[in-house]
Amino acid sequence: MDAQRQRYLQVMGIQTWAYAGLRSLEQTPDDPHGQSATDNGPQWEALAAEVAGCERCKLSATRTQTVFGTGDRQARIMIVGEAPGADEDRQGEPFVGRAGQLLTRIIQALGYRREQVYIANIVKCRPPDNRNPEGDEVDACASFLRRQIELVQPEVIVAVGGVAAQNLLRTEASVGQLRGRRLTHPETGIPVVVTYHPAYLLRSPGEKRKVWLDLRHLARTGQPA
């Protein structure tokens, strides 16, 4: 971790540790890379409770429940999607519908289990009729995702789809324009890899190869190109 990021996290009051090279892929959720799984536990619990009770925007009126995030809270790779759909709204977990099943297969193709990455969305509540989240909804939720990123401290963030990429990177560029570029999350300096959303791949299966091209370096090294 570079000195600037370390300093930023310290200022934010977030516990950090020194990376000893790449973490083992054989880590288990109970003993991730030799640390107690309860590291930063109180911050996670407080954040999850805040999200569960959130009424900052109009999506709170139509949701069944909030969809916080799932996976290894000390993961090397954090995947960020757009927003919960109907299945996620029902089950309270991100990416559990058809697109989610494809995402799980992509994660496995990278050599990871789904539980070894951390998965979250730009917004934590389902937009009605699966429309894109609106600006005020994204803004209301932004600090939740930022705090999740600060707590996980991933080595890389994978933004799937345009909504995730544009909001994480504060750009209006398309996925096509952002793929294959060295990008960083402005607030934390963490590298961001942009690729297509699995829902797009369900509609355009011929594009799956491009996702692999985007992610193969991650698969080989666990780090962005």
Instruction: Note the residues at the interface with ligand URA (CB under 6 A).
Output: 81-85, 88, 94-95, 97, 99-100, 121, 199
Q: How far is the CB of 197 from ligand URA (least distance, A)?
A: 6
For ligand URA, the closer CB: 97 or 154: 97
Q: How far is the CB of 83 from ligand URA (least distance, A)?
A: 6
For ligand URA, the closer CB: 112 or 200: 200
For ligand URA, the closer CB: 35 or 101: 101
Secondary structure in 3-state letters for the chain: CCHHHHHHHHHCCCCCCCCCCCCCCCCECCEHHHCCCCCCHHHHHHHHHHHHCCCCCHHHHCCCCCCCCEECCCCCEEEEECCCCHHHHHHCCCCCCHHHHHHHHHHHHCCCCHHHCEEEECCCCCCHHHCCCCHHHHHHHHHHHHHHHHHHCCCEEEEECHHHHHHHHCCCCCHHHHCCCCEECCCCCCEEEEECCHHHHHHCHHHHHHHHHHHHHHHHHCCCC
Q: How far is the CB of 126 from ligand URA (least distance, A)?
A: 9
Q: How far is the CB of 80 from ligand URA (least distance, A)?
A: 8
For ligand URA, the closer CB: 121 or 153: 121
